[in-house]
Amino acid sequence: GPVLRLVLGDQLSNALTGLGDLNPDHDVVLMAEVRDEATYVRHHKQKIALTFAAMRAFAARIADRGVAVRYVRIDDPDNTHSIVGELHRALDASPFSKIVLTECGEWRLAQALEAFAGVATVPVEIREDRRFICSRDRFRRWATDKRELRMEFFYREMRRETGLLMDGPDPEGGRWNYDAENRRKLTKGLRPPQRLRTPPSSLTRDAIADVARLFPDHFRDLESFGWPTTAEEAETVLADFLDRVLPAFGDWQDAMAEGQPWMWHGLISTAINLGLLDPLDVCRRAEAVYRAGAAPLNAVEGFIRQILGWREFMRGVYWLKVPEYRQRNALDADRVLPWFYWSGKTDMACVADVVATSRTNAYAHHIQRLMVTGNLAMMLGVHPDAVDDWYMTVYADAYEWVEMPNTRGMATFADGGIVGSKPYAASGAYINRMSDYCGACRYDVKGKSGDGACPFNRLYWGFLERNRGRLRDNIRLAMPYRTLDGFGEARRADLLAEAERTRVSLGAIVGEKATKGE
């Protein structure tokens, strides 16, 4: 009999397992734009517009192939505004012999769909999502006998398993990781290349207009929307990156520059997360550029590691540890998120620039997310729920399975050391080394205390002192703690007080966990 096949907004791939044995003669594909998904956080308007535009384009594509699509639009008067509600409504409308789903990326909705499967009047088959290189089971097997989960060792297994950048049994070039070569600072006069952004199609412009009309209170700007919404558009962005940008990706991977949102990054996370690009294919294409001699190994290895290593590792950790992971707060962080995270109104030049690009572009590159907003939130002691809420809100590529291990794990150490072996706390010296922010900043990056000194400096030692009981035994922090011990008790008390004054003056006070911002 006819099968109802649900396709979620981030499952827009022809190779989706749930569409595998689709019978175009009588199956129906269900896609639904619903308020529950559009508002479970106050997503950036660009994220909603991107999702709706991509869903509509995908639905039109499969309808063109003669498949019946039950497409529920956001302004449909009968819309129940939840995925489960739309499944029930589809079942009420016509008979189906079963429902096929593809496993859902976020625990929140996965729970709802499993509950639905338990009560549905027809059998519900939940299939594995094979758009990842490493299945959840495979990751679980890798993780079982490990005392610690370290991305680097997982990544080596993935290299061996896929054969990516391998020279027989050995890593290409003799080393697994070329990060040491990927730490160049942007020198004066050097400009990142102009980037290809995708002009909105008429379908995308419609979605943008719908979002402007229906979600006016969601976060920030639609004007600069430039995300690919179809597999073809995504392919154009990827091809341009591989051709013109990848060769220098490695050198300046960790560099930041004022007013330069893209640097040499790929700008493909939205497309991969939606299903418009396949991660393994992206890696193979990057490898081919290296094999053709058109990009150096440090660039290509670094790029492939982000996808084959970090992206797969984060997803593995999420599904291994969720739902408990969502409650983790290893440093007992208890502060509210300062308002400038939303407004960008701060004298900290680095933070102002990262918030500005997040508002305008729904994007910031990795080192901005990690070492500016993430590092600051950790040193301020912002509650992890508020940190998650911010990252989920501001980025067009945000999905909990990748966002949460990055924030609670990599950036803020709230997971207590599952993703990373130590907190990435850093003073202003790091930002000064990797960027041109500090020159024009009102704060003095060399200053250690007092109102004119860089807040990152004023927070750094106090952060370590405050967390002495939790972090002192971490061998990777032995050096800074030895330095701190050498300061003597009176100085340590001063540093703690200075950090506390800084936290309060920046608005990181004790209070309601999550601030919902403009």
Residues making contact with ligand FAD (CB under 6 A): 265-269, 272-273, 306-307, 310-311, 314, 365-366, 369-370, 374, 391, 395, 397-399, 402-403, 406-407, 410-411
Kindly indicate which of the ranges 132-140, 404-412, 449-457, 509-517 contains the residues binding ligand SF4, using the contact rule CB under 6 A. 449-457
Identify the bridge partners of residue 124 per DSSP, sorted by sequence position: 99
CB of 72 to ligand FAD, least distance (A): 26
Please count the residues of the chain. Answer: 518
Q: Is the dihedral of CA 134, 106, 398, 211 positive or negative?
A: positive
Exactly one of 271, 314, 441, 508 binds ligand SF4 (CB under 6 A); which one? Answer: 441
Give the one entry of ligand FAD, ligand SF4, ligand DLZ, none that residue 311 binds, where binding means its C-beta sits below a cut-off of 5 to 8 angstroms depending on kind: ligand FAD
Instruction: Fill in the amino acid letter for 415.
Output: D
Q: Which of residues 456-475 bind ligand SF4 (CB under 6 A)?
A: 456
Exactly one of 9, 455, 462, 517 binds ligand SF4 (CB under 6 A); which one? Answer: 455
Residues 6+ apart with CB under 8 A from 192: 186, 252, 257, 260, 262, 263, 264
CB of 441 to ligand SF4, least distance (A): 3
Residues 6+ apart with CB under 8 A from 493: none
Instruction: Fill in the amino acid letter for 20.
Output: G
Nearer to ligand SF4 by Cβ, of 272 and 431: the residue is: 431
Exactly one of 154, 437, 460, 461 binds ligand SF4 (CB under 6 A); which one? Answer: 437
Residue 255 makes contact with ligand SF4 by CB under 6 A: no
Q: Is the peptide bond before 323 cis (omega within 30 degrees of 0)?
A: yes
Nearer to ligand FAD by Cβ, of 319 and 391: the residue is: 391
Nearer to ligand DLZ by Cβ, of 85 and 247: the residue is: 85
Nearer to ligand SF4 by Cβ, of 65 and 446: the residue is: 446
Kindly indicate which of the ranges 287-295, 316-324, 359-367, 436-444 contains the residues binding ligand SF4, using the contact rule CB under 6 A. 436-444
Euclidean distance between CA atoms 326 and 479, whole angstroms: 31
Bridging pattern class, strands 98-102 and 3-6: parallel
Indicate the Cα dihedral angle 86, 91, 93, 97, nearest 10°. 140
Residues 6+ apart with CB under 8 A from 276: 12, 13, 54, 228, 229, 230, 231, 233, 234
Euclidean distance between CA atoms 132 and 153, whole angstroms: 18
Kindly indicate which of the ranges 99-107, 273-281, 431-439, 483-491 contains the residues binding ligand SF4, using the contact rule CB under 6 A. 431-439
Helix axes 107-119, 83-93, angle to 10 degrees: 30
Give the one entry of ligand DLZ, ligand FAD, ligand SF4, none that residue 106 binds, where binding means its C-beta sits below a cut-off of 5 to 8 angstroms depending on kind: ligand DLZ
Give the one entry of ligand SF4, ligand DLZ, ligand FAD, none that residue 455 binds, where binding means its C-beta sits below a cut-off of 5 to 8 angstroms depending on kind: ligand SF4
CB of 424 to ligand FAD, least distance (A): 9
In order, the DSSP letters of 210-259 are: HHHHH-TTSBS--TT-----SHHHHHHHHHHIIIIIGGGTTTTTT-B-TT
Exactly one of 295, 337, 431, 434 binds ligand SF4 (CB under 6 A); which one? Answer: 431
Kindly indicate which of the ranges 37-45, 81-89, 198-206, 424-432 contains the residues binding ligand SF4, using the contact rule CB under 6 A. 424-432
Give the one entry of ligand FAD, ligand DLZ, ligand SF4, none that residue 382 binds, where binding means its C-beta sits below a cut-off of 5 to 8 angstroms depending on kind: none
Q: Give a three-class secondary structure readout of 2-70.
A: CEEEECCCCCCCCCCHHHCCCCCCCCEEEEECCHHHHHCCCCEHHHHHHHHHHHHHHHHHHHHCCCEEE
Q: Go through 54-77 and write b for each residue having 16 or more CB atoms within 10 A of its CB, e for each that does not.
A: bbbbbbebbeeeebebbbbebeee
Interface residues with ligand DLZ (CB under 6 A) are 8-10, 32-34, 37-38, 43, 47-48, 51, 83, 104-106, 109, 399
Give the one entry of ligand SF4, ligand FAD, ligand DLZ, none that residue 411 binds, where binding means its C-beta sits below a cut-off of 5 to 8 angstroms depending on kind: ligand FAD
Euclidean distance between CA atoms 146 and 138, whole angstroms: 14
Nearer to ligand SF4 by Cβ, of 82 and 457: the residue is: 457
Binding site for ligand SF4 (CB under 6 A): 348-350, 428, 431-432, 437-438, 441, 443, 445, 454-456
